[in-house]
Amino acid sequence: MHDEYRLNRTHCLKDREPFSGWRSFFLDKNQRCRTNFCRTKFGPKVATTHPVPGETVRRETVMETVSRRIEGLIRGGELRVGSRLPSETKLATMLGVSRSSLREALKGLMFLGLIKARPGYGTYIQSSLGRAVGKHFQWMLLLQEVKYLELYELRKILEPNVAALAARRATKQDIARMEAAIRGMKTSFDRPEQYMAYEMSLHEELAQASKNVAVEAMLRMMYGALAEGRRRTLYLIENFGSNFRRHERIFRLVSRRDATGARKAVLEDLEYAEALLRQDLEIRDNLRTKLHKPELKSPVERKKPARAAKP
């Protein structure tokens, strides 16, 4: 079963000088290829998906191939998060692709946020993908693959429990950062954009205080995607003082270690925010309907006098 993964020593490791220094890099203790690099050039071609009768098997793009093989290096421990990629020539040889194909693939991976270039220093594997994934979330909203109301439904599932965790786990430093966000909100009633920034900061600090990295990463990328939708509803907030008091209450409950109260207070705030979003969506739908509705002709236009016959 593993024969197709074996490197041909005559081809790869003995006769080809570029590979001679990579024996231990490519092969495990059983002389099997760790990362399947030999498939493309030296081993039999392997379909990327299981063939289904009547369907055409989709071949991997170069970017998918390069991404998969770099992933193999990371899994095998040869590359680590934040580490620098080898030079273009060496990496192309390692991955079994041409330099031009590698160059195009790396551009795609850079656009996706999986790698980053530092001018004068080289190309590195991203140490964090939160911002990149947040951008993808924004595009999903833009293309309507995900709807704003669906994200608010997800928030209502996650955030009340996050607040409860924060009430149990928040440190003094977490409480201090939350208090700073609350002070910022209080002084920004006349600056809606600044008020929103402090409000989102409070929610982010609650996520961080939960001490659950997975939850924190999920909420941070969701907040980034929701920023535009939140900005759209600012004009609907009639009383910033009332809005502020709801958030101040959340902070007080968390700082008093009242997990049940914090959970309930966050849910109430999210229901208020969701109501604003529904109101904004309704207003926009009505405007869109009016703009695309064909105008009825006036009675005068409908009853134009017939043209007089030419003599």
Final residue of a domain: which of 102, 125, 148?
125
118 shares its domain with 136: no
Only one residue has tokens 């020593």, namely 9
Distances in whole angstroms, Cα of residue 168 to Cα of each of 42, 72, 218: 57, 39, 20
Question: Do residue 63 and residue 152 come from a single domain?
Answer: no
- pLDDT in the model for residue 225: 78
Specify the pTM. Answer: 0.63
Residues 23 and 158 in one domain: no
In a domain, 311, yes or no: no
CB 114 within 8 A of CB 121: no
Q: Structural domain of residue 176, as residue ranges?
A: 132-292
Cα torsion 239, 242, 245, 246 to 10°: value is -110
Determine the average pLDDT of the residues in 104-120: 80
Q: Does residue 10 register a pLDDT over 60?
A: no
**pLDDT tens readout for residues 237-275:** 989 999 999 999 999 999 999 999 999 999 999 999 999
Same domain, 136 and 272: yes
Residues 119 and 48 in one domain: yes
> Using alpha carbons only, what angle is made at residue 251 by residues 213 and 255, rounded to the nearest 5 degrees?
80
Q: Exposed/middle/buried for 45, CB within 10 Å: 0-12, 13-18, 19+?
A: exposed
304 domain-assigned: no
Express the helix, strand and coil content of the chain in percent, nearest 5 each: 65, 5, 30
Provide the CA 106 distance to its chain's centre, in angstroms. 19
Which CATH number characterizes residue 285's domain? 1.20.120.530
CA dihedral 96, 100, 102, 105 (to 10 degrees): -140
Domain count, the chain: 2
pLDDT tens per residue, range 64-100: 888 888 888 778 777 777 888 888 888 888 888 888 8
> Of 125, 152, 169, which closes a domain?
125
User: Both 142 and 120 in a single domain?
Assistant: no
Considering the chain, what percentage of its residues have pLDDT values greater than 90?
34
Last residue of a domain, one of 125, 151, 166: 125
Whole-Å CA distances, 115 to 47, 108, 126, 131, 133: 26, 9, 5, 12, 13
pLDDT at 19: 42
